[in-house]
């Protein structure tokens, strides 16, 4: 191949020189979709699902009713969605995973394997959304038992999804208070606008890929610690504090070290996270609440006061993770299952967004600003 001895200096202007389109790192502030599902009002601390307040949904709804509301727009307080059996081929896959696998990896793998057994037709439908949302709790419960050397438990069709999940996890029906508490957690976790995992699901299905691929990708996005939340770290934090008398000194020392207080602050909420308020009530009413809940409430008071003192410019309030921790612990989940509980709940929102994206029927394909070298010749 022949060519000039030295690369010729380019006479072309840099490709980005005339590109004046706005760039928003992380897409912050960019409206990338329209949705009728969830309204996150960060200034006033409101969260609405199709217009209904989250606090009312927690008090008077159930997870299946909320999922149906998201999928169909209809409110049916008596909606019934039992857990679905795990197909044999998917169970084989779960049996082959190492018991040390992270539960989020197991769940992501299970959803992907489920998709391979379903030959899901295009477009995704409400029936597909129901089927996948009903499958995943069974798959996770099966993995949680297999890794302990126990046999999986078949779903009980009489039980609603969350109660059925606890039954399949533990092999005994949960008491109504425990089932109700986890159901409340699932309701607050069901939907939250165009967060990273939901955006991932919408991007995937915008290519006319299928529902299982969209949710597999969404689980992958949620696995990251910046999204999957921090409730297990909240538990560690409260244990470190140890007693109410130590709270003030502990909080101040943590902030002096530059640490972040887990369960405080939020990208969108500048007011108290309404999900935290709902879950605090649930946690306080549980018979099986952890013995450190009172301490957590004392620590919260101190933390809010000191955060306001240290950051007068930025409202740092309690977020959902703070009170998710006692609820998830109180229902008997081990901390390594906390992120998967969030993912199971968010199946409702992910799949509802997939259905919306199908109607929007627009490939999501943003541009990148090119900042590499200007046009040039290859070296000789």
Query: Which parts of this chain interact with ligand ACO (CB under 6 A)?
Result: 227, 229-230, 260-267, 311, 314, 316, 319-321
Q: From the CB of 12, what's the least distance to ligand ACO, in Å?
A: 39
- Rounded Cα gap, residues 336 and 77, in angstroms: 32
- Residue 9 neighbours by CB under 8 Å, 6+ apart: none
User: Which SS3 state, helix, strand or coil, does residue 131 take?
Assistant: helix
Q: Is 321 a catalytic residue?
A: yes
- Rounded Cα gap, residues 352 and 71, in angstroms: 5
Please say which residue, 209 or 319, places its beta carbon nearer to ligand ACO. 319
Selection from 215, 256, 4, 248 nearest residue 130 by Cα: 215
Q: From the CB of 258, what's the least distance to ligand ACO, in Å?
A: 7
Q: From the CB of 281, what's the least distance to ligand ACO, in Å?
A: 18
- Rounded Cα gap, residues 213 and 203, in angstroms: 11
Please say which residue, 46 or 227, places its beta carbon nearer to ligand ACO. 227
Which of 266, 300, 347, 353 does the annotation list as catalytic? 266
Q: Burial, 244: exposed, middle or buried (Cβ in 10 Å; 0-12, 13-18, 19+)? A: middle
Please say which residue, 113 or 262, places its beta carbon nearer to ligand ACO. 262
Q: From the CB of 359, what's the least distance to ligand ACO, in Å?
A: 27
Which of 163, 191, 233, 321 does the annotation list as catalytic? 321
Q: From the CB of 118, what's the least distance to ligand ACO, in Å?
A: 30
Q: Burial, 297: exposed, middle or buried (Cβ in 10 Å; 0-12, 13-18, 19+)? A: middle
Tokens of 318: 């309690």
DSSP state string for 46-108 = EEEETTEEHHHHHHH--HHHHHHHHHHS---TT---PPPPPPHHHHHHHHHS-TTS-HHHHHH
Please say which residue, 94 or 221, places its beta carbon nearer to ligand ACO. 221
Please say which residue, 28 or 367, places its beta carbon nearer to ligand ACO. 28
Tokens of 33: 């979709």
- Residue 118 neighbours by CB under 8 Å, 6+ apart: 128, 131, 212
Write out the E strands in the chain: 38-41, 46-49, 52-53
Task: Tell me the residue nearest to ligand ACO as measured from the CB.
Answer: 265
Evaluate whether 253 touches 306 at the Cβ level (below 8 Å). Answer: no
Q: Is 266 a catalytic residue?
A: yes
Q: From the CB of 341, what's the least distance to ligand ACO, in Å?
A: 12
Residues classed as catalytic = 266, 321
């Amino acid at each position: 191949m022949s060519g000039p001895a030295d690369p010729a200096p380019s006479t072309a202007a840099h490709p980005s020189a005339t590109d004046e389109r706005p760039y928003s790192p992380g897409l912050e502030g960019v409206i990338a979709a329209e949705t009728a599902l969830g309204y996150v009002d960060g200034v006033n601390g409101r969260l609405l699902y199709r217009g209904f307040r989250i606090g009312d949904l927690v008090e008077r709804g159930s997870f299946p009713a909320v999922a149906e509301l998201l999928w169909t727009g209809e409110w049916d307080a008596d909606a019934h969605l039992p857990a679905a059996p795990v197909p044999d081929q998917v169970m084989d896959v779960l049996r082959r995973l190492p018991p040390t696998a992270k539960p989020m990896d197991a769940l992501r793998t299970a959803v992907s394997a489920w998709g391979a057994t379903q030959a899901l037709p295009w477009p995704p439908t409400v029936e597909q959304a129901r089927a996948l949302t009903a499958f995943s709790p069974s798959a996770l419960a099966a993995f949680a038992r297999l890794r302990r050397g126990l046999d999986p438990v078949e779903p009980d069709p009489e039980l609603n999804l969350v109660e059925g999940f606890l039954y399949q996890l533990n092999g005994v029906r949960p008491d109504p208070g425990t089932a109700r508490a986890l159901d409340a957690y699932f309701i607050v976790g069901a939907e939250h606008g165009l967060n990273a995992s939901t955006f991932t699901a919408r991007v995937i299905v915008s290519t006319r890929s299928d529902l299982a691929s969209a949710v597999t990708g969404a689980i992958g996005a949620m696995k990251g610690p910046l999204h999957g939340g921090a409730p297990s770290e909240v538990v560690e934090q409260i244990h470190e504090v140890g007693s109410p008398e130590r709270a003030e000194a502990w909080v101040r020392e943590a902030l002096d070290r530059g640490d972040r207080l887990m369960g405080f602050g939020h990208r969108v909420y500048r007011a108290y996270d309404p999900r935290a308020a709902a879950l605090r009530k649930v946690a306080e009413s549980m018979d099986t609440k952890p013995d450190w809940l009172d301490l957590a409430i004392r620590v919260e008071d101190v933390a809010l006061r000191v955060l306001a003192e240290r950051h007068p410019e930025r409202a740092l309030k309690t977020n959902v993770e703070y009170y998710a921790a006692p609820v998830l612990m109180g229902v008997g989940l081990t901390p390594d299952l906390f992120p998967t509980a969030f993912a199971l709940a968010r199946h409702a929102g992910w799949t509802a967004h997939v259905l919306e994206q199908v109607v929007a029927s627009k490939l999501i394909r943003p541009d990148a600003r090119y900042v590499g070298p200007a046009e040039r010749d290859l070296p000789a």
